[in-house]
Structure 1
Amino acid sequence: MLMSASLLTIFGRLADLRGRRNLYAAGIVIFGGGSVLCALSPSFAVLIVARIVQGLGGALMAANSMAYLIEIYPPTRRGFVVGLWEAGIATGSGIGPILGGAVIEASGWQGSFGMILPMAIAMAVAVPFAMKEPVRAPGSPRFDLAGAMLFGVGVASFLFALTRASVEPWGSPVVVGSLALSVVCVVLFVRVEGLVESPMIDLRMFQSRTFTSGNLAKIAGYLPFSAHGFLLPFYLKEVLALPPTGIGSILVALPVGMFAATLVSGPLSDRIGTRVLAPAGLVVQAIGCVILAIASPEMGINAPMAGLLLGGLGIGAFIAPNDSAILAATPRDRIGVANGIMGVSRTAGLLLGVAVGGAGLSARVVANGGQFLPAFHDVYWFIAVVAFAGVLLATVRDRRPA
């Protein structure tokens, strides 16, 4: 995740300048090759290297998939495209662990990587026929290598700090040092971008309230979504004493709700606009958080089921119209960059959800004398506040219609 998120914006800018089809095809080949290397890894060290290769290929694909669709479809179909793309992500997130688990049980962990190869080959063969490169103006500007390096290191340091914050204190040397490195890189990045003729990120993009608030709302929306997946298994086990199969059957409500809402909200945003749908989705998600903040053993599975389903429906209703609004506020020659920044926002929200959930639950359990349920409630009240803050952010838009 760190590798992909750190490179998304860089590869997005490179594709804005040089074209998407070849980079997307290269991503397929690299990802497939990394998967084979994972399956054949003789040691843990080789497996780590192979996973890094996978992340590189995944970043090339992720940086170009949605951006390519946005380029070839008219603006009136933008919500449909984003909704369909996000529904695919939700489907993969839901089916992947189930299918991977079945393959691992049948043929070992190597099989879960090996099964990717035939899919990668099929995709690589299809790319020349399925993807047509839009005509680009001759004489593309130079790629901002210095800015790309500073941005990549800064994002990687920031996301690494969030990752470590889920398992160690925020004041630990590793977390503080990573955050400090990230700040230094951001300061230098802003300075460099103001000096080069063709910056990697045109900082004027952040003058758009839709673009900036939309990305902040994305972080606030994905934080509860991630926290659900981290915190609810503890509740279902510690409070309701459910077996692993029962826990899994309840957790599936989250991706199912997300998938269903995403399919509807995308096309609907093309018809009625994005201004109401995006904040409305986060309101639904926030209500789900409140339900979990008052959940009790007497409610049985009803409270977690309702909270997860509303969480999935809410984030699903929010994503497509919010992303569509962000992309509408982005210059067409910067779509790849915008897509990358949205990916960083999504990853930051996911990592913050785990960090806040883990650190918050541990701290509140201690503060509540070792009692789990009051600590769980405290954490979810905080998450509900974050969700409602996301609602406010999602209402901030530029004066012109999205």
Structure 2
Amino acid sequence: MLCGALMTRIQDTALNIANPALMADFGLPAATVAWISLAPMLMSASLLTIFGRLADLRGRRNLYAAGIVIFGGGSVLCALSPSFAVLIVARIVQGLGGALMAANSMAYLIEIYPPTRRGFVVGLWEAGIATGSGIGPILGGAVIEASGWQGSFGMILPMAIAMAVAVPFAMKEPVRAPGSPRFDLAGAMLFGVGVASFLFALTRASVEPWGSPVVVGSLALSVVCVVLFVRVEDLVESPMIDLRMFQSRTFTSGNLAKIAGYLPFSAHGFLLPFYLKEVLALPPTGIGSILVALPVGMFAATLVSGPLSDRIGTRVLAPAGLVVQAIGCVILAIASPEMGINAPMAGLLLGGLGIGAFIAPNDSAILAATPRDRIGVANGIMGVSRTAGLLLGVAVGGAGLSARVVANGGQFLPAFHDVYWFIAVVAFAGVLLATVRDRRPA
């Protein structure tokens, strides 16, 4: 499970280093090349909950193994792509494989570990993601320099092959009750289209106005799908998502807090390179060395917060983590050239520590409020919340910065401050959401 999280994250973060080479090879602008990252993200997020429910009904091992094979096969297609269009299709294939793995990894660990170890499991899994975030740019940079952007896809093949061989022996399928309910195909299709159109709208909102036909049309399609989905779920005997799950304050507020927590995390990665270049005039190597503070802080905190939440509970740790993250946002909202690299370093480090301290106890609380036969669905919904937060961070960062630069007469620093004050408000709203829990202990 950890190797799967590590592999997919190494692949995704290494591509950030490959983007300039891809732009040069295909002669495309940055906005177009960005779809190399966005296409698989949209595919994965729209399918996470669907695959989670399918695994709840049919088992996880075969689906997880299929995900490894599909992801590895997609990597081969990416490395051999003769055109940008083929590369996008290959990345969508990777997104399909990644969704199969992500939908079953944490859910499987939750099934085989006792509830008293839930925080440890979630923290360890998130630490694998943070480790991949740190390794990806370093390994990817070295491989790309030696063999071109194709190498960034080929480098994960040995890990994919080793995992595909090991999974049938290492992953034991828990015994399930005979006579599983039917899979809700209509609900799955409506949910998938609704999520995909909503996330697509967030993606487009980072490069064009919220009132544009594409954004408004995508949001309208999402609303229609949600309305129809709710009607269908009320009618079928075994719905894909039991809507009663959202009656749990812990489940609902925990997912909303997850969106609020990942928005600043994503915005940091988008906005800070502009600040470091425009205000501090740092070279790319200097920018990279400062940005690494974010995953380093996240890695350190996830290792501690998971086991700690098993010992002292989730009620204090989750909101405390978002308080730390919000303080980091405030520091960035008042950053100035006179502070040098101290302000961005402190803001990023606190951002990483905060989100790392928040994830394990928050996810553990959500899963504790979920019926055991719906763990896969809950894991999928958590993945959608995470992706929504990540995309909102880029949308708010991109659209907000552009609008505030115009409002401030073309001045970058006041615009940067305005955007970060808004992000700080979102972070503090996340603190409030993280305190909302069911009356029974989490």
If the TM-score is normalised by the length of the shorter chain, which range does it land in? over 0.9
User: In the alignment, does 2:334 pair up with 1:294?
Assistant: yes
The farther-off stretch of 109-118 and 52-61 is 109-118
Structure 2: distance between partners of 1:208 and 1:368: 44
Deviations 1:344-399 (A, max 9, x none): 00000000000001100110111011111111111000000000000000000000
Deviations 1:289-345 (A, max 9, x none): 000111111111111110000000000000000000000000000000000000000
Deviations 1:234-254 (A, max 9, x none): 111111111111111111000
Give the SS at the match of 1:109.
Answer: coil
Deviations 1:60-102 (A, max 9, x none): 0000000000000000000000000001011112211221121
Structure 1: distance between partners of 2:316 and 2:295: 23
The farther-off stretch of 99-108 and 339-348 is 99-108
Structure 1: distance between partners of 2:249 and 2:71: 36
Matched residue, 2:36: none
Task: Give the superposition deviation at 1:115.
Answer: 1.8
Deviations 1:160-199 (A, max 9, x none): 0001111111111111100000000000000000000000
Deviations 1:134-171 (A, max 9, x none): 00000000000000000000000000000111111111
Matched residue, 1:361: 401
Structure 1: distance between partners of 2:108 and 2:414: 47
Structure 2: distance between partners of 1:184 and 1:97: 40
- Number of residue pairs the alignment of both structures matches: 402
User: In the alignment, does 2:206 pair up with 1:206?
Assistant: no
Give the SS at the match of 2:227.
Answer: helix
Give the SS at the match of 1:167.
Answer: coil
Structure 1: distance between partners of 2:287 and 2:140: 18
Task: Give the superposition deviation at 1:128.
Answer: 1.1
Find runs of 4+ consecutive structure 1 residues off by over 4 angstroms: none
Structure 2: distance between partners of 1:322 and 1:264: 14
Give the SS at the match of 1:133.
Answer: coil
Structure 2: distance between partners of 1:370 and 1:260: 39
Gaps of 5+ in 2: 1-40
Matched residue, 2:292: 252
Structure 1: distance between partners of 2:367 and 2:324: 23
**Structure 2 residue corresponding to 1:345, chosen from 361, 370, 385:** 385
Give the SS at the match of 2:235.
Answer: coil
Matched residue, 1:196: 236
Structure 2: distance between partners of 1:283 and 1:34: 40
Deviations 1:10-29 (A, max 9, x none): 00000000000000000001
Structure 1: distance between partners of 2:66 and 2:201: 30
Structure 2: distance between partners of 1:313 and 1:161: 30
Task: Give the superposition deviation at 1:42.
Answer: 1.7
Task: Give the superposition deviation at 1:45.
Answer: 1.8
Structure 2: distance between partners of 1:101 and 1:165: 30
Task: Give the superposition deviation at 1:44.
Answer: 1.7
What's the Cα RMSD here? 0.6
Scaled by the length of structure 2, what TM-score is found? Answer: 0.90
Scaled by the length of structure 1, what TM-score is found? Answer: 0.99
Task: Give the superposition deviation at 1:54.
Answer: 0.6
**Structure 1 residue corresponding to 2:321, chosen from 274, 281, 287:** 281
Task: Give the superposition deviation at 1:214.
Answer: 0.1
Structure 2: distance between partners of 1:350 and 1:111: 26
Structure 2: distance between partners of 1:234 and 1:44: 27
Matched residue, 2:106: 66
Matched residue, 2:351: 311
Gaps of 5+ in 1: none
Task: Give the superposition deviation at 1:109.
Answer: 1.1
Structure 2: distance between partners of 1:98 and 1:218: 28
Task: Give the superposition deviation at 1:273.
Answer: 0.1
Matched residue, 2:434: 394
Structure 2: distance between partners of 1:51 and 1:288: 34
Instruction: For 1:3-402, list aligned pairs within 5 A.
Output: 3-402=43-442
Structure 2: distance between partners of 1:240 and 1:48: 35
